[in-house]
A and B are shown apart, each in its own frame.
Chain A
Amino acid sequence: MDIIKTENLTKKFNGFTAVDSISFKVKKGEIFGFLGPNGAGKTTTIKMLTTLLNPTNGNADVAGFKVNKNKDDVRKNIGIVFQEPALDTELTGRENLDFHARMYGLGKEKRKNRINEVLKLVDLEDKQNNLVKFYSGGMKRRLEIARGLMHYPTVLFLDEPTLGLDSQTRQAIWAYIKKMNKEEQTTIFLTTHYMDEADNLCDRIGIIDHGKILVIDSTENLKNSIGNDVIVLSSSDNDKILKRLKKESWIKNTKMYDSYLTLGVKKGEEKIPLIIEIAQSLNEKIKAISVRKPTLDDVFLSYTGRKIRDNESVSPFREAMKMYKRGRG
């Protein structure tokens, strides 16, 4: 059964297309991730799926309800953890959960039990009566995850769930996400611009860039699509070697960087001698060579033509807006 289904979902802001006619499905019980740089359209998609923004075009069904027509039904079936913390810091952790439960119309007894249940799930039982303003970043995020689960949502949306957290806290958050997916059978839709996060958590991912979905597949398949191994090498003349290697049929794909090349191959260890031989035949020296397993970074690169971290300082959204303004002015 599909929990989320979109058809040509589009959102335009003043003529700028933030989300461009995307269609995808999320199955019941899976962890599905949107991977893309900042400004790719991930948050806009979440806002449309959670009824906070109306789509410009196209359809989206969440838990069997249309996001633009049956807003209340959609809202009852979803939980959300926003990118920015959305807690009342003047209330205690428990009061924040209680507030949420009352808004979703949970009865007194159920409220009490459920609060204890979700607090236990995220290990915040001993801090439940502290004001949220005294919580650390990781504790706030955990409380938000707990709150998102309060009303037994069919699907939980997580927008950049570990943004700005240290690596230890991130690992802990990942563990909680996996735990609730398993224990509560909650379908999870998350967005991230961290490769390791998508790799670690998601059953399937969609790579999104400039508002378009470039590919959707399981993390395994995506990694296999670029070869089982990645060879990284640097030599005295990378251009010359690359030109020659492109003729070899056992190389699935190649990529050129400033000072090194990467090659997608099968059985990488066995290919190293071949590459060295080719280099020698060209009278070029190999300075360094290594084999590693492909990461989602490689996948992202092969689909978008650039590394995800190239975009972290300059968001393509802002770039696009600049171009858009220039075009008009």
Chain B
Amino acid sequence: MRGIEIHAIYVMWLRQMKRFVRSKSRLVATFIQPLFFLAILGTGLRGAVISGMDSDYMTFIAPGIVAMSILFSSMFTGVAVLWDKQFGFLQEVLVAPISRFSIIFGRTLGGATTALIQGFIILAIAVGLGVRPDSILGMLLTIVFMIVIAFTAVGFGLAVASKMSDFQGFQIIMNLIILPLFFLSTAFFPIATNENIPQVIVYLSFVNPLFFMVDGIRGSLTGVNNYLPPLIDLAIVFVICIFMMSIGSYLFGKSEV
């Protein structure tokens, strides 16, 4: 199997787009949840003072919610391969004379595109609710982060989907892995600069891939509350992305139908 077939990548992408636009319930759900976090949690706790936070809460939480919506949406596209497996459609794709790489690449591109569209809408809502972007350059860097996060999460979703045969496992992974990682990512509250948090949790947050994603978006978008310089975050997130994508494509390539 060799090569990159543009037509195959395009058609995999096109299919994702068509399904995305048609699935009204999914569209609504992916906007509503982050909106609740921003509009209710963000405004409700706007005046709150938390140890280690240098701005109002809305500015603090907005980058975390952007990262969250992209992460969840991309992961979902990766895991949606399970649906194709269950409905048999995956077989149709796998017997086509195109390389596995093109299939994975097209799918990832499609997942990343839908995630980015959602990310931008959340971003716009956040700005509407009073979050002020730091600079144009920071804005561009935010977009780079969004893309890299999307690719990482699709890779993770693909890896999970290749190893699972049904959706029960996916629920368990969401509840037992993704949620704790999110709480340890500084998306909702500061960790390393927070005086009230045990040192153990600070260490845990530093081995949490999500921490660098949230911290990076925070640093580039709002320019406050970030622990590491955004470019360092980016380098780390980029390595994680390559790693996750490789695992995802390796496991998907090996899976048989």
Contacts and interface: CB of A to CB of B under 8 A. Distances in A.
Interface string B84-110: 000111111111111000000000000
Contacts of A75: 95-97
A52 B91 contact: yes
B97 A104 contact: yes
Interface string B173-216: 00000000000000000000000000000000000000000000
Given A53-B256, A82-B88, A105-B7, A88 B95 contact: no
Interface stretch (A32-40, A94-102, A114-122): A94-102
B163 interface: no
A87 B18 CA distance: 15
A57 B96 CA distance: 24
30 contacts: A50-B95, A51-B95, A52-B94, A52-B95, A53-B256, A71-B1, A72-B1, A73-B97, A75-B95, A75-B96, A75-B97, A80-B91, A84-B88, A88-B19, A88-B89, A90-B22, A90-B23, A91-B18, A95-B18, A99-B15, A100-B92, A102-B7, A102-B8, A103-B11, A103-B93, A103-B96, A103-B98, A104-B97, A105-B7, A147-B92
Interface residues of A, number: 28
A86 interface: yes
Interface string B216-257: 000000000000000000000000000000000000000011
Contacts of A147: 92
Most buried by A among B23, B87, B90, B256: B87
B72 interface: no
Contacts of B5: 105
A89 interface: yes
A58 interface: no
Contacts of A104: 96-97
B10 interface: yes
Contacts of B10: 102
Given A50-B95, A84-B88, A90-B19, A103 B8 contact: yes
Given A73-B97, A82-B88, A84-B91, 8 more contacts: A52-B94, A72-B97, A100-B96, A102-B7, A102-B8, A103-B97, A104-B97, A147-B92
Contact of B87 (A52, A85, A102): A85
Nearest to B12: A103
A76 B256 contact: no
A52 B256 CA distance: 8
Contact of A52 (B1, B11, B14, B257): B257
Interface residues of B, number: 26
Contacts of B18: 90-91, 95
Nearest to A88: B89
Interface of A: 50-53, 71-73, 75-76, 78, 80, 82, 84-91, 95, 99-100, 102-105, 147
Given A75-B97, A102-B10, A86 B91 contact: yes
A88 B110 CA distance: 16
Contacts of B94: 52
Given A95-B18, A103-B96, A87 B8 contact: no
Contact of A91 (B19, B88, B91): B19
The 5 closest A-B pairs by CB, nearest first: A86-B88, A75-B97, A102-B11, A84-B88, A86-B92
Given A90-B22, A103-B98, A105-B7, A82 B1 contact: no
A147 B93 CA distance: 12
Contacts of B14: 99, 102
A51 B257 CA distance: 11
Contact of B89 (A53, A87, A102, A105): A87
B98 A86 contact: no
Contact of A89 (B1, B8, B87, B96): B87
Contact of B88 (A50, A73, A85, A99): A85
A103 B87 CA distance: 19
A91 B15 contact: yes
Contacts of B93: 103
